[in-house]
Structure 1
Amino acid sequence: MTLILPFKLACVGPRSIRCPLIFLPPVSGTADVFFRQILALTGWGYRVIALQYPVYWDHLEFCDGFRKLLDHLQLDKVHLFGASLGGFLAQKFAEYTHKSPRVHSLILCNSFSDTSIFNQTWTANSFWLMPTFMLKKIVLGNFSSGPVDPMMADAIDFMVNRLESLGQSELASRLTLNCQNSYVEPHKIRDIPVTIMDVFDQSALSTEAKEEMYKLYPNARRAHLKTGGNFPYLCRSAEVNLYVQIHLLQFHGTKYAAIDPSMVSAEELEVQKGSLGISQEEQ
């Protein structure tokens, strides 16, 4: 991974693709938490970029920094996949650039539209003072603690490992972005194609938060996973990768395609879709 302005990036896939898919991680995540998506999607011909956040303390600062990153990479428009905090920041960036759009579509995984759901807006400005162990304890409090299947257990272990790699300022800044008082203004991004991806089992998001997302994006495609917890992109990667392909399929043959058109055909995607038993209603 390379350090660019000052995001850490994993960039894979054909440079000829001018509208790639960019992955934005959750609070505890680094760029490599999406390694299963990177491996699969690039193998199918997609251009993919996964990133790790630098230390930003407010949403405007993040949006300005991310816009400069896209300028540096010479990318006019991108597709964004955001997990939890990453999904919220993806929406805020789309909102921030709505007068000169830089986001062509959104995939929002276990994400939210209003930070007040965490009931910590009043402590958001004090995270920078807290020691690392206390910040990690706050994050770990949202991880599943009950019995889970082996794949979910491995995903949790992996995310705990990534959490351990983060320093105090990185964690404090991410929790600040996650909890400082802010919400998405849907009228500014209502024309952007959206897929909402969430799970039916236990996750850090409440049912009310999920319902609010559905209300905010009434025309969004819904990608429901029966299980997957907080990190379906790790423990249910085959389903997540397929839903990502289904979302991106609508842009094939346009200048906003994230794939080399010679690599994957629609017929192949239909076969994969059928193998997982995904119904038309779930699309």
Structure 2
Amino acid sequence: MRLAKRFAAIGAIGVLTAVALTTSSNAQPVEPAAAPAAAATDSDHDTVYVTGKDRAGNMTVTIYDPAKGVTPDQLREKLRSNGVTGVLNKGQTPPSSQPNTSTPPKALACLTEGTARQWCDHQWNYGSYKDPQVYFLDSTTSAWPVVASVTEWNRATGIDSFWKSGSSACPSGVHCVTVANGAYGSTGWLGLTTWTPSTQGPVSVQLNDSYTLTAAEHRTVACHELGHALALNHNTSTSSCLYSGTYISLVPNADDYKLLPLIYPLAGT
């Protein structure tokens, strides 16, 4: 049944993509052959959080990921100078619930596994499925290989990832993440992911066309933002596409794959 759903999701992407998407979500992750595995301290990868509001007036939290050569502190300053409000200081914890919530939800455990980190207080619910079902509604151009990154993330156990055209409606009973690209300017960031705290969405990903990137860097940034959308924060190893600020690895690392079933621990399908 799952195999049929994956082929339905990718439609006419092509034979190569279709073969890639037949990989079971219970398959063992494949480590990148050429990616270095230098570790770094968490302080070297502090996350740039920005709070805002969506069209319905709900508070949002966005992770902004810096462009090459831009430090998190430099990105914060650039965002503020460009008139972005709600930029949190280094080390400041973003809100985990809506300010008008009369009884704030109990804080979730902020899990770690090796070099991988959870985006604290963010995770998808199961609905009627044995794994959370996350559909990435992809409206990007061919420069951004979102479908390839969805394939890699679907190797993880605990949560299932699917690709769907951005022109399609979100299927009923599942979670959907919108993915779009645009020329957002020399903003200091290459990608961002926005989540609405204490809710099951909406979640959106934006990818910035205003910087010159190689094909490999496009894929790394796409993989990075999709990882945030699954509830992962930055990884402190360059063997992961979630490493912050230096875009080397095309794929998640073993710790990313190990952390997801800790965040989503029910038996999968």
User: What TM-score results when the alignment is normalised by the length of structure 1?
Assistant: 0.29
Name the structure with the higher strand share. Answer: 2
User: What TM-score results when the alignment is normalised by the length of structure 2?
Assistant: 0.31
